[in-house]
């Protein structure tokens, strides 16, 4: 993917074309043109576009990252109650409102990630909406496709991140105006900026420099300093041992170093927190994309509703088919159970009536006793254990069960009767029909009758 970085200074417009692939990257072309008006106008942007087309060898211009000069921006450190930069971006503008020399509605701002050990602390970089939109319109009118809008602070950080040994300490840039960045762990701990005219005021600039170092509680003695551009005469003594940031291969003029950093921004989007100053055009594009997503979501929801409706209809049809099948089976079984019926209508009701009729007949005949096997089980289990009592005969007639046997005495017969009554429940009557002495000495012959209580009362 090719990316074009564009930087704006008071006297020059610079461009840097870079190509990034999965396996490698290379610098393709850079150029810088003088501006006919401060910070360039439509004619200057058109000349830059022409130079880029010539150097790139084609009419197509790749996506561009536009870097704005410091004089168009405002720096504000903000501390927010959230550590996630995505959430912080959504609320940080409220912290800037009323603190900038522009109307709140005109603020365009974004955040850079927190430095190490300072979660929730961010550097906000803001600009006037009108200035940003005018710059975007100027370059778009020349044929550039502006994908992102950053600032020189971000371009410098991006260039620093590209170094093999990421520099720590203080970065001083005089490429456009005077920018001082305190770098730590690949992030900016604090930043200051001054107009280029201050470079000629040696006393004022030297004072500001020393105050910045004294105010930085984290700065260790001998903190390394890296310079981009020329060292101001006022700081020549302080920066005698400062390092110079290397220029990129193929770089045309020092202004191109900012364009080089801008071209690197997409490659370090994560480290930069996805920084970009949102323009109204970009915001409208985002709104259009959001509307598109909502349309797709609505269509998907409609398809889901239709699918659900179809599923419900299919389930209803399936259930109706099952009900019809069950009714057919009931009709068949009813016809087999009641062969004399010619016309089968409301077969379930007829079956219910037949069952109730059978139950009434059982009660009348006394055949609604528990099954005979169950009765015999209770007869056996109720016999007193290890006692002289036996059952000699069992007979069943018209719903009555009779037990005939011998026992060691009348009390033992009563014990057996009580055990049977408890086992069979209150709905069954258990009575001793006969209990008399037998031919065997010391024994009595007994007859116990078991029947439904209502039958017993009727007889």
Distance in angstroms (rounded) separating the CA atoms of residues 5 and 325 = 75
| pLDDT for 188 | 93
Helix (H) or strand (E) holding 3: strand 2-8
Q: What is the CA 414 to chain-centroid distance, rounded?
A: 78
Residue 346 in this model has a pLDDT that exceeds 90: no
| pLDDT for 374 | 78
Distance in angstroms (rounded) separating the CA atoms of residues 197 and 171 = 19
Residue 315 in this model has a pLDDT that exceeds 90: no
Q: Residues with Cβ < 8 Å from 435, sequence gap 6 or more?
A: 410, 413, 444, 445, 446, 447
| pLDDT for 337 | 57
Q: What is the CA 71 to chain-centroid distance, rounded?
A: 41
Q: Which of 51-60, 115-124, 358-367 has the lowest mean pLDDT?
A: 358-367
Average pLDDT over every residue of 273-301: 63
With a pLDDT cut of 70, the percent of the chain lying above it is 76
Distance in angstroms (rounded) separating the CA atoms of residues 262 and 46 = 19
Q: pLDDT by residue (tens digit) across 416-431?
A: 899 999 988 888 889 9
Average pLDDT, the chain: 82
Distance in angstroms (rounded) separating the CA atoms of residues 264 and 223 = 26
Average pLDDT over every residue of 163-173: 83
| pLDDT for 84 | 94
| pLDDT for 12 | 93
Q: pLDDT by residue (tens digit) across 253-274?
A: 555 889 999 999 999 999 999 9
Residue 195 in this model has a pLDDT that exceeds 80: yes
| pLDDT for 273 | 93
The pTM score is: 0.61
Residue 117 in this model has a pLDDT that exceeds 50: yes
Q: Residues with Cβ < 8 Å from 312, sequence gap 6 or more?
A: none
The residues that bridge with 4 in the sheet, in sequence order, are 17, 64
Per the model's pLDDT, the better-predicted residue between 142 and 307 turns out to be 142
| pLDDT for 304 | 63
Residue 228 in this model has a pLDDT that exceeds 80: yes
The residues that bridge with 193 in the sheet, in sequence order, are 179
Look up tokens 């949102």; give the residue.
278
Q: Which of 75-84, 219-228, 234-243 has the lowest mean pLDDT?
A: 219-228
Residue 364 in this model has a pLDDT that exceeds 60: no
Residue 456 in this model has a pLDDT that exceeds 60: no
Residue 296 in this model has a pLDDT that exceeds 70: no
Average pLDDT over every residue of 342-350: 56
With a pLDDT cut of 90, the percent of the chain lying above it is 41
The residues that bridge with 303 in the sheet, in sequence order, are none
Q: What is the CA 310 to chain-centroid distance, rounded?
A: 29
Per the model's pLDDT, the better-predicted residue between 91 and 347 turns out to be 91
Q: Which of 3-17, 97-111, 153-167 has the lowest mean pLDDT?
A: 153-167
Residue 281 in this model has a pLDDT that exceeds 50: no
Average pLDDT over every residue of 365-383: 72
| pLDDT for 247 | 73
Sheet with 428-437, edge to edge strand ranges? 389-397, 400-407, 444-452, 428-437
Q: Grade residue 164 by pLDDT with cuts at 50, 70 and 90.
A: confident
Exposed / middle / buried, residue 169 (Cβ in 10 Å: 0-12, 13-18, 19+): middle
């Amino acid at each position: 993917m090719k990316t074009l970085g564009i930087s704006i200074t008071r006297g020059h417009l610079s461009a840097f074309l870079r190509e990034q692939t999965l396996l490698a990257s290379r610098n393709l072309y850079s150029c810088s043109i003088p501006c006919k008006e401060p910070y360039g106008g439509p004619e200057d942007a058109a000349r830059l576009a022409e130079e880029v087309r010539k150097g790139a060898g084609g009419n197509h211009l790749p996506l561009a990252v536009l870097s704005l000069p410091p004089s168009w921006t405002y720096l504000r450190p903000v501390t927010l109650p959230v550590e996630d930069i995505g959430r912080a971006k959504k609320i940080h503008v409220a912290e800037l409102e009323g603190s900038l020399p522009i109307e709140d509605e005109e603020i365009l701002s974004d955040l850079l990630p927190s430095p190490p050990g300072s979660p929730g602390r961010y550097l906000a970089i803001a600009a006037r909406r009108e200035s940003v939109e005018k710059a975007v319109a100027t370059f778009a009118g020349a044929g550039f496709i502006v994908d992102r809008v950053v600032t020189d602070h971000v371009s410098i950080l991006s260039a620093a991140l590209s170094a093999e040994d990421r520099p720590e300490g203080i970065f001083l840039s005089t490429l456009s105006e005077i920018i001082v960045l305190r770098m730590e762990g690949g992030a900016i701990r604090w930043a200051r900026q001054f107009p280029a005219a201050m470079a000629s005021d040696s006393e004022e600039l030297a004072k500001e420099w020393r105050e910045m170092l004294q105010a930085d509680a984290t700065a260790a003695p001998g903190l390394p300093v890296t310079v981009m551009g020329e060292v101001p005469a006022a700081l020549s003594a302080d920066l005698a041992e400062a390092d110079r940031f290397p220029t990129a291969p193929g770089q045309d003029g020092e202004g191109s170093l900012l364009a080089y950093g801008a071209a690197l921004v997409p490659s370090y989007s994560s480290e930069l927190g996805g920084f970009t100053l949102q323009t109204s055009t970009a915001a409208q594009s985002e709104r259009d994309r959001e509307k598109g997503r909502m349309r797709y979501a609505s269509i998907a929801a409609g398809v889901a509703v239709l699918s659900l409706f179809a599923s419900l209809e299919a389930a209803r049809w399936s259930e109706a088919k099952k009900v019809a099948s069950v009714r057919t089976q009931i009709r068949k079984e009813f016809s087999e159970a009641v062969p004399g019926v010619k016309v089968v209508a409301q077969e379930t009701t007829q079956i219910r009536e037949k069952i109730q009729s059978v139950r009434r007949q059982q009660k009348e005949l006394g055949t609604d006793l528990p099954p005979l096997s169950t009765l015999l089980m209770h007869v056996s289990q109720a016999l007193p254990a290890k006692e002289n009592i036996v059952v000699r005969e069992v007979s069943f007639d018209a719903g009555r069960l009779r037990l005939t046997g011998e026992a060691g005495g009348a009390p033992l017969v009563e014990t057996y009767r009580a055990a049977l009554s408890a086992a069979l429940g209150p709905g069954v009557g258990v009575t001793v029909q006969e209990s008399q002495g037998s031919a065997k000495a010391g024994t009595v012959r007994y007859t116990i009758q078991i029947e439904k209580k209502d039958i017993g009362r009727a007889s």
